[in-house]
Structure 1
């Protein structure tokens, strides 16, 4: 466009020179000369005006030229103030965000598996992989294991166990455990009948062994135990069953409310945490977790597909259809953006201002001229044509007089 504008100016100069030589051949040539003369003046004037914005015309230090390079810092501050006053004020951000359905837009993004699922999955996987591979595994493992151990040491286990046990008893979920314990006891007795009989035989006196009563005594004891366990298993209100339930309820209550019981559980927990076997288990757990996570993030298409993509798509459809959910998400997005503008608006515009100030004059000139230069050359072209028309009009008026 600069070449076109310059060629047009040169063409007007050539027309002026030619018509100046042959003006007497015909009256119409005077009109052409007047048009070319005024067009040449208009084109030169607009060339000077456009050039003066960015540099000194012909390299001459004419006052009030090279306006943008000379006022670079002031332009940077003005741009920053303009951005802050017109875009980053809480009121402007709130009004703008009120007209944007952020939730629906996010839902459309997530519901499309070609964009939402793949881009989020690949982006998250790449970020996690970069972080894991850039950090020292030993130091990272030490931090992770130390954090986990610290949380376990601060966490009081007894109330949680008591609440879980109490909830299980209230829902009747403890009964299968009791019944399984009774069956295991019966199986243990059956598997060790010979040992029990031998023990009774050894501890019986000589008279019992001589009369054979020790064997009957052992069989009676075993039969009684089998009968007791069978009745406990079959009869819902059996005294032994109630005794076990009462014991469990007492244990659940003491785990929550009894300081002595809670202290015993905490002491046992500290012993477990201090045991070298726990440290080895924690090391193995960390290594398995780290290896599995690295495998997952390095293969996001297989590991994070399927359920992950389905969950994202389901969330996207919910954001598109659920008006109440949209209202909540949009309100959160609006408040977040207003908060960002309030807290960081000044820092954002300061970043713009300082960035422009750090540019050298040539960089500022090239970037602004590159952004609006085409329109500036149209100013030169229009100035040439408008100047010519004005010159032609003045010549017509002068001839009429």
Structure 2
């Protein structure tokens, strides 16, 4: 477009010189000459104006030229302020987010998988994730993650949390299956260790009982009593022993929440567990399996998406598509999250824009802005040439008529 505008200016100069020689031949050449003369003036004026934005015309340090290079810092601050006041405000973001159904869009993506552009984005992001996971030291990264989790676990007061969980489970009768399972386990354990129980009873019986041979019958009575007790506890949810167990669990839930001694004991147990090397080794194994699974998943997305993970994601996508209540919850969460990010980090975002532009040298910012809007600015030169010619033609006509 720059070449086109320049060639138009050269053409007007050639027409002006040629038509000037033909003025005596016919009066019509006067109109051509006036058009070309005014077009040259308009084209040169707009060339100067456009060039003055980015550099000194013909290299001459004329005042008020090379405007963008001289004012790049002010332009950076103005861009940042414009971005902050018109886009990165909680009101604008919230209003824009209310117009978007993020949940449904996520559901469409999970069920349909997206188009070619989306697939390219997913592939690029996946490759970036693989390179990141492979480039970092697995042991060092695992230790850092473990240390972060340990710090968070140390800050967490687990006793009240366990107490509330246990209290809620008792209130909803969700503890009964656990008691049933414990009773079944106790029955199977007793069945597998009957001989040991008999030996214990017989060893603790006195000499007279052993001499009369009643120790065997006593052992069988003990075993029968234990089996009967476990069977009655299993079939009767209101059994007194079960009631005692539930009472003990309820007291434990209260102690976990309100007893300082119990809470201190649980805290010591938690710290001992975190300090145990076996826990550290277990976590490192879990982390390594997670890392390798992520790498394999990204490298073989078709296999991952065709398995359980793919089915789960597809089900989640269908729920996001069809459940209005879920959409409301997800959209509200997304809106609040983004508004929170803008509120907390809006200044840092605009500072990043401002500082990035300020860090560019004058030539870089000139080239980038000129590439972005230069084509339209060359149209200004073309329009200036044509409009200037038409104005000159009109003035010449008025002079001739008057």
Instruction: Verify same fold: TM over 0.5.
Output: yes
Say whether the 8 Å CA contact 1:165–1:252 is kept in structure 2: no
One of 139, 143, 146 as aligned partner of 2:147: 143
- Aligned CA distance change for structure 1 residues 18 and 184 (closer, same or farther; 3 Å): closer
Equivalent residue, structure 2, for 1:174: 179
Determine which structure has more spread, i.e. the larger CA radius of gyration.
1
- Structure 1: state its 5+ residue gaps: none
Equivalent position of 1:298 in the other structure: 295
Per the alignment, residue 66 of structure 1 pairs with 66
Q: Secondary structure at the match of 1:25?
A: coil
Alignment of 1:357-376 (within 5 A): 357-376=358-377
Give the superposed CA RMSD.
4.5
Q: Paired residue for 2:122?
A: 119
8 Å Cα contact 2:107-2:316 kept in structure 1: yes
Relative to structure 1, the CA distance from residue 19 to residue 270 in structure 2 (aligned partners, 3 Å threshold; closer, same or farther) is: closer
Taking a change above 3 Å as real, the CA distance of residues 374 and 146 of structure 1, as seen in their structure-2 partners, is closer
**What TM-score do the two structures reach when normalised by structure 2?**
0.75
Q: What is the number of residues matched between the two proteins?
A: 389
Determine if the alignment matches structure 1 residue 279 to structure 2 residue 276: yes
Query: If the length of structure 1 is used for normalisation, what is the TM-score?
Result: 0.75
Instruction: Describe the superposition over 1:11-43 as per-residue Cα deviations: whole angstroms up to 9, x where unpaired.
Output: 111122122223323333232222222212221
Indicate how the Cα distance of structure 1 residues 185 and 26 shifts in structure 2: closer, same or farther if over 3 A, else same: closer
Residue 125 of structure 1: how far off its partner (Å): 5.8
1:95 matched to which residue of 2? 95
1:55–1:252 Cα change, 3 Å: closer
Q: 2:25 aligns to what?
A: 25
**Is the 1:43–1:380 Cα contact (8 Å) retained in structure 2?**
yes
Partner of residue 57, structure 1: 57
CA contact (8 A) 2:73 2:358 kept: yes
Distance 1:339 1:6, change over 3 A: same
- Secondary structure of the structure 1 residue equivalent to 2:193: helix
Return the alpha-carbon distance in structure 1 between the equivalents of residues 264 and 90 of structure 2: 51
Q: Secondary structure at the match of 1:315?
A: helix
Cα distance, 1:245–1:390 mapped onto 2, change above 3 Å: closer
What is the CA–CA distance in structure 2 between the aligned matches of 1:89 and 1:272, rounded to whole Å? 44
Instruction: Note the 1:159-198 alignment, pairs <5 A.
Output: 171=176, 174-175=179-180, 177-178=182-183, 181-182=186-187, 184-185=189-190, 188-190=193-195
The alignment status of 1:217 with 2:214, answered yes or no, reads yes
The 2-side partners of 1:332 and 1:145 are apart by 25
Distance 1:134 1:392, change over 3 A: farther
Counterparts of 1:395 and 1:258 in 2: how far apart (Å)? Answer: 103
Gaps in structure 2 of 5+ consecutive residues: none
